[in-house]
Amino acid sequence: MERILPHGEKLQAQTTPIRLRILDVLSQLPWDGISFKHEIPGLSLYRVVEPAGPFFTLYEPSLSLIIKGSKRVSVGDETLVYDESCFFLTTIGLPMTGQICEASEAEPYVAAMLRLNLEALRRLIANHDLHATHTSDRDRGVAVGRATPELFDAFWRLISLVNSPNDIPYMANHIQNEIFYRLLTGEQGARLRRFALAGTNSNRVAKAVAWLKENYTMPLRVDELAEMANMGVSTLHHHFRAMTAMSPLQFQKHLRLHHARELMLSGSLDAATAALRVGYESPTQFSREYRRMFGHPPLRDVKAILNSDDSTRRGSVG
């Protein structure tokens, strides 16, 4: 199911001057392919000059902001299409598929991603008495919100620190805290507070997700996972699917297939060895599920990536 989000032309017009200032800063940087290396902690910058994807990756808890262009992101059975009028918030680490349909040298896709800092979020919640509200039945671990001029302005000041590296140790944390504060007090603030605070169902599911990411090669016993998350099995299933659009078993499968693909790409492993390394007992089952997810059998898929100049297929583009 695909949802095309409203473009928000009025909002785009309001943020155009700030986005142009950001693009001016980024245009002067020495890009290495799609990314630029810098010293600002937690911040990733991306510039894509041709259509890219679909690329499969594991998103970490983060805030993504498109400076120029649009992007299609799929998680589970839901697909979102968003642009410069929206921010994309990921509150738990999720396997997703992304695609940039339009980009060129003249009209590149440009985006920034800021990793969420749990400690900073909790400190802001405590200092400003920002309490979590009731969790709805449909509380996805991803959300889209309005990219306001204030949010773009904070990102512009953060990105501009690349030109004054001596200011980064002091200024970066202050600007990032401002960004987190605007998120916490904005339209997606309740969702973010539930993720950050211990004791909520969102936080318990986040613990289950973190355990699966660390132990995806092990056999999955859902009753043990539920006990670890301090939830009943049916409750875990309900809230896990609500947040991730997947069951725990499907989530584990996504993790296994993603890591197997990375092993074949970077470690020169054959499909059978990679399958065993990530926890599959049957190479046949691995090949079948791999093809279902990536569209081609393992060997053909890996060869196509290695013979392609499309480096974005091997990693995230914010």
- Kindly list the distances between the CA atom of residue 259 and the CA atoms of 55, 162, 195, 264, 275, in Å, as whole numbers in the listed order: 13, 32, 26, 9, 9
Report residue 276's pLDDT band, with 50, 70 and 90 as the boundaries. very high
pLDDT of res. 270: 92
pLDDT of res. 260: 93
pLDDT digits (tens, 9 = 90+) for 173-226: 999 999 999 999 988 888 888 888 766 777 788 889 889 989 999 999 999 999
pLDDT of res. 37: 81
Q: What angle do CA 192, 112, 146 make, to 5 degrees?
A: 50
- Whether the CB-CB separation of 121 and 196 falls below 8 Å is answered with yes
Q: Which fold has domain 259-314?
A: Arc Repressor Mutant, subunit A (1.10.10)
Nearest to 62 by CA among 175, 180, 172, 148: 180
Which amino acid makes up residue 292? Answer: R
pLDDT digits (tens, 9 = 90+) for 292-311: 988 899 999 888 888 775 55
Q: What are the residue ranges of CATH 2.60.120.810 in the chain?
A: 2-196
Q: What are the residue ranges of CATH 1.10.10.60 in the chain?
A: 201-246
- Whether the CB-CB separation of 253 and 56 falls below 8 Å is answered with no
Beta bridge partners of 70: 83
Q: Which fold has domain 2-196?
A: Jelly Rolls (2.60.120)
Class of domain 201-246: mainly alpha
